[in-house]
Amino acid sequence: MSQPESKLSRRIQDALKKEWPSIFVFKVWGSEHMMAGLPDLIGCIQGRFFGLEVKTPDKGKNVSPRQEYVGGLIRRAGGCWDVVTSPAQAVEVLRALIPKE
Residue extents of the structural domains in the chain: 3-97
Average predicted confidence (pLDDT) for the chain: 92
pLDDT, tens digit, 9 for 90 and up, residues 54-82: 999 988 789 999 999 999 999 999 999 99
Q: Which fold has domain 3-97?
A: Trna Endonuclease; Chain: A, domain 1 (3.40.1350)
Contact of 13 with 94, CB cutoff 8 Å: no
Tell me the pTM: 0.91
CA angle, 86 as apex, 38 and 83 as ends, to 5°? Answer: 35
